Amino acid sequence: MAYQTVRSWDPELVPTPAGRGARPDEACPVEVALRVISGRWSTLLIRELLHGPLSYGAFRKRLPTLTDKVLTDRLAELRGHGIVERQITRGFPSRVTYQLTPRGEALRPLMIELYRTGEALLA
């Protein structure tokens, strides 16, 4: 009979089997969360939207060095993840605004924790 060391999972760190894979896994909750906030500029867009809805042009004013292509890419990605939605108001001029969905608002505690952890690492 051979011995083996069985590792028990910390139930606070890894409460469900979904986080116990032996390889990168789309369904792992940690990766799900990371995927929606990952990508250059993503956290900046989320930060802006956590303060309220913005138009395309308002993004460009607040983040002047962000190019159209990347802004469009990121907004599409965030919309694809159900984090952001686009509101079009018809009329002259027709107004387009982006805002967080309830799913998007759910990112706030994570953003706060990221900030906190980053500050701790800097100290």
The single residue among 43, 77, 97, 99 that binds a copy of itself, judged by CB under 8 A, is 43
CB 36 within 8 A of CB 107: yes
- Residue 16 partner contact from a copy of itself, DNA, none using kind-dependent CB cut-offs of 5 to 8 Å: a copy of itself
- Residue 29 partner contact from DNA, a copy of itself, none using kind-dependent CB cut-offs of 5 to 8 Å: a copy of itself
Instruction: Indicate the Cα dihedral angle 57, 51, 96, 55, nearest 10°.
Output: 0
Nearer to a copy of itself, 6 or 90 (CB): 6
CB 98 within 8 A of CB 89: no
Question: Smallest gap, in angstroms, from Cβ of residue 33 to DNA?
Answer: 16
Q: Which of 82, 86, 105, 74 lies closest to 32 in space, CA to CA?
A: 82
Nearer to DNA, 77 or 110 (CB): 77
